[in-house]
């Protein structure tokens, strides 16, 4: 393609970076590649061959696109009823990701997007998915073309089914049965007559809407003016006399005179002069890691990592590999040492010392997903990398902390430049006035 913007030069100004545009190209290519596994495809970028897909079956093609590590664990499903066939592959719940980039649905060989059917797939996974976790799937739906209207959107990506409620229950039940048969879920399914009734359109009730209810992350707040850590601690954990009792040191606010309690493995509570302070341990720890990681990135010199006894080999998906190449230089500055093995297969040789043991591969995939999909407004690359690493390596909700860990968390949080907010703009600390508490009992 040459002189693409000859007649519309104004549109050229709206192009993003080369990496962003390449990701869009790959996203489009993935849909064609997965829709037509019996056709060979090649991708060339900057004058060199980037990927080559040989024709094969559906499982082989999915493994080429998603990565062979994922392809080996996919679960095949094939269900037909009342002239409708649903077949393809879904991943076990433990292969969940932090983005929807590995979700593909095809209707009669064409890619589509349907919120209701996607929601049915999520429901089929039951309680194995938490908020912010997304299953991997590549499913092919075949039915009579007269039962679907494909002309409701110019791109043909959105369609309208005449029997959408019936399809909703077919998707839900098929996914649930497939996972149950594989041992990933308890076996709970509709009997044959009930399912046939649903597919025939005999079920009553309101049409199910495919809304997940997940909220978008708010844009990050502008950085606040740095305050003295001791001044911030005085405002929350008592007056000047408390610091004097402990020698006025850095940890004066969390000395023996002050105690912390953990609530539901998620919140750190403490008494303060005006009432009660509640700290979200995940968001607070993310703020600490964010500012520490950002300082290392801005230092310019790579920080030493921890060498792995057994290097981790990972085969990345197409778009994940492109993101990895874009951010690998930043990853080296915070302690990663990753080399390309062959194609889109990489080997992790060193990790930052504060990464939890056993999460070497997952932390990298989480960082890539967060970097690709989280809304960051005008954040710089270093800020996006720091936020991705911080959120994916911070204390998790439900993680039990010792009293020493809670004291350290509070000490480090109030030493941050912006202790009251997480990198995504959510509040990390809230307080309740004693008068508000008293009013609750009146």
Q: What CATH number has the domain bearing residue 117?
A: 3.30.230.10
Same domain, 168 and 269: no
Residues 392 and 265 in one domain: yes
User: Looking at residue 344, what is its pLDDT?
Assistant: 82
Give pTM, 2 decimals: 0.59
- With CA atoms as reference, report the closest residue to 388 among 423, 354, 359, 420: 423
Q: Which of 390, 412, 406 is nearest to 267 (CA)?
A: 406
CA–CA dist 208, 194 (Å, integer): 18
Q: Give, to the nearest 10 degrees, the angle between helix 229-237 and helix 403-414.
A: 120
Task: Tell me if 211 is assigned to some domain.
Answer: no
Q: Is the same domain home to 163 and 254?
A: no
Q: Does residue 3 form part of some domain?
A: no
Rounded to 5 degrees, what are φ and ψ at 184? -80, -25
Question: Considering the domain boundaries, does residue 89 fall inside one?
Answer: yes
Q: Are residues 335 and 250 both part of a single domain?
A: yes
pLDDT tens digits, the chain, 442 residues: what are they?
677 788 888 777 777 777 778 878 888 888 899 999 999 998 888 787 877 888 889 999 998 888 888 888 899 999 988 889 999 999 998 888 878 888 999 999 999 989 899 999 998 888 888 878 889 999 999 999 988 888 887 878 888 898 888 898 899 989 988 988 887 765 444 445 544 554 454 333 334 433 334 333 333 333 334 445 544 554 555 544 444 444 444 444 444 457 888 899 899 998 877 788 899 999 999 999 999 888 888 876 666 678 888 888 888 887 788 888 888 888 888 888 899 888 788 999 888 887 877 777 788 888 888 887 765 455 677 888 888 888 888 888 888 998 888 988 988 888 888 888 888 888 899 888 888 888 888 8
Cα separations in angstroms, 189 against 78, 172, 289: 15, 9, 44
190 occurs within a structural domain: yes
- Tell me which of 199, 232, 256 is where a domain ends: 199
Shared domain for 165 and 237, answered yes or no, is no
**Does residue 72 sit in the same domain as residue 31?**
no
Same domain for 62 and 48? no
Tell me: do 49 and 63 sit in the same domain. Answer: no
151 located within any domain: yes
**CATH number of the domain that 409 lies in?**
3.30.1370.100
The verdict on residue 4 lying in a domain is no
Neighbours of 181 (CB within 10 A): 13
As for how many domains the chain has, the answer is 3
158/90 same-domain check: yes
**Is residue 176 assigned to a domain?**
yes
Domain co-membership, 96 together with 77: yes
* Residue 152 and residue 225 share a domain: no
Closest by CA to 177, choosing from 202, 194, 165, 164, is 194
Half-sphere exposure of 339 (CA within 13 A, CB side): 4
Find, among 73, 165, 78, the residue nearest to 119 by Cα: 165
| Domain range for 112 | 58-199
Q: What's the pLDDT score for residue 186?
A: 54
Asked if residue 62 and residue 46 are part of one domain, the reply reads no
pLDDT value of residue 185: 65
Structure tokens that stand for 436 in this block: 């508000």
**How many CB atoms neighbour CB 13 within 10 A?**
7
Q: What local confidence, expressed as pLDDT, does residue 374 receive? A: 61
């Amino acid at each position: 393609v040459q002189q693409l913007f000859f007649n519309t030069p104004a549109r050229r100004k709206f192009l993003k970076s080369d990496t962003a545009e390449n990701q869009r190209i790959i996203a489009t290519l993935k849909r064609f590649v997965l829709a037509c596994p019996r056709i060979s495809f090649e991708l060339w970028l900057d004058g060199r061959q980037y990927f080559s897909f040989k024709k094969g079956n559906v499982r082989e093609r999915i493994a080429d696109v998603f990565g062979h590590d994922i392809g080996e664990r996919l679960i095949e499903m094939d269900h037909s009823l009342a002239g409708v066939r649903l077949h393809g592959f879904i991943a076990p719940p433990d292969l969940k990701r932090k983005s929807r980039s590995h979700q593909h649905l095809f209707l009669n060989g064409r890619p589509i997007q349907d919120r209701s059917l996607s929601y049915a797939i999520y429901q089929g996974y039951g309680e194995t998915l938490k908020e912010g976790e997304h299953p991997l799937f590549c499913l092919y739906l075949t039915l009579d073309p007269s039962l679907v209207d494909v002309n409701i959107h110019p791109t043909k990506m959105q369609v309208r089914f005449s029997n959408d409620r019936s399809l909703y229950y077919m998707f839900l039940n098929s996914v649930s049965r497939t996972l149950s048969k594989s041992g990933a879920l308890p076996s709970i399914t509709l009997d044959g007559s009930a399912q046939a009734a649903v597919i025939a359109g005999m079920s009553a009730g309101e049409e199910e809407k495919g809304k997940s209810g997940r909220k978008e992350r708010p844009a990050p707040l502008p950085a606040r003016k740095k305050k003295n850590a001791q001044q911030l601690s005085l405002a929350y954990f008592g007056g000047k006399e408390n610091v004097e009792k402990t020698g006025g040191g850095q940890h004066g606010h969390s000395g023996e005179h002050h105690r912390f309690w953990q609530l539901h493995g998620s919140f750190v509570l403490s008494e303060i002069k005006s009432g009660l302070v509640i700290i979200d341990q995940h968001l607070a720890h993310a703020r600490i890691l964010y500012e520490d990681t950002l300082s290392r990135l801005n230092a310019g010199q790579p920080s030493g990592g921890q060498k792995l006894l057994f290097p981790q080999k990972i085969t990345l998906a197409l778009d994940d590999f492109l993101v990895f190449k874009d951010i690998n230089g930043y990853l080296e500055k915070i302690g990663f040492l990753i080399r390309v093995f062959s194609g889109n297969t990489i080997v992790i040789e060193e990790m930052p010392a504060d990464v939890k043991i056993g999460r070497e591969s997952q932390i990298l995939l989480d960082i890539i997903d967060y970097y690709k999909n989280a809304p960051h407004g005008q954040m710089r690359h270093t800020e996006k990398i720091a936020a991705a690493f911080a959120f994916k390596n911070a204390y998790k909700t439900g993680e039990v902390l010792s009293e020493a860990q809670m004291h350290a968390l509070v000490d480090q949080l109030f030493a941050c430049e912006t202790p009251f907010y997480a990198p995504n703009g959510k509040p990390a600390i809230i307080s309740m006035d004693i008068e508000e508490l008293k009013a609750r009992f009146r």
